[in-house]
Amino acid sequence: MSEEEQSPEEEVQPPAMGGMLLTMLFMMYIIMNPGLRTGMGEVAKDVLEPQIGFDHIYPVLTFLCAGVLMITLTTVIRHMLIDWEKVADVQSKMAAYNKEMGEARKSGNNARMNKLMALQPQVMVYQSEMMSNQMRPMMFTMLIAMPIIFWLCFGDGNFVERMDHKVLSLPWEPNYSLTDRLWILPHSILVYSALSLPFGQILLRGLKLVSLSNKKTY
């Protein structure tokens, strides 16, 4: 981040954060409303359980299929709505700023540090802008993710509660209870996350690389 690219006098308008706040409030409303949670879980149950429920015989396979479906849909939506080129640009500027600040501190260049400190309000705007950009798809993705999670793990009469044997055999634990909790999280959601999140990271990274490489060719 050079002084020519960013001057203290340059005005940068912060992004609107109202959409993010509304999204968070909407999420809290859903989580705190038992009737809504149950209703969303029932919708997912009616759609998905006949296809990937496997009569509760293969819960790991159900978790894996549900996770891959959810991750694929939400990742594609995020990829379409997030401007990854802008995210990469902001990350590059932030890295350059942090590098220059670190070098100024090491060398004891107070004049340089003061100039960089004057740019901090703009740096915070960039950080806020990037966060707002990445939060934009949340309203859409949570309407896909929440029903699946409520159906599997959290809703009344969820998939795990209706299993005859609510345990899994893992390499390190032959009787891993899906209904026990780690802090507030049931073990079932931990298994679901462990199966689905790695696939999501691979898919998202692949989509980002394809998108950025395509833009560079034009």
In this predicted structure, what is the pLDDT of residue 215? 60
Q: Which amino acid is at 187?
A: H
Helix (H, G, I), strand (E, B) or coil at 169: strand
pLDDT, tens digit, 9 for 90 and up, residues 66-78? 999 999 998 888 8
The whole-angstrom separation of Cα 195 and Cα 152 is: 14
pLDDT, tens digit, 9 for 90 and up, residues 2-34? 444 444 444 445 555 556 677 778 888 888 888
Helix (H, G, I), strand (E, B) or coil at 67: helix
In this predicted structure, what is the pLDDT of residue 216? 59
pLDDT, tens digit, 9 for 90 and up, residues 40-90? 999 999 999 999 999 998 998 999 999 999 999 988 888 888 887 788 788
Q: Which residues pair with 181 in a beta bridge?
A: 186
In this predicted structure, what is the pLDDT of residue 125? 82
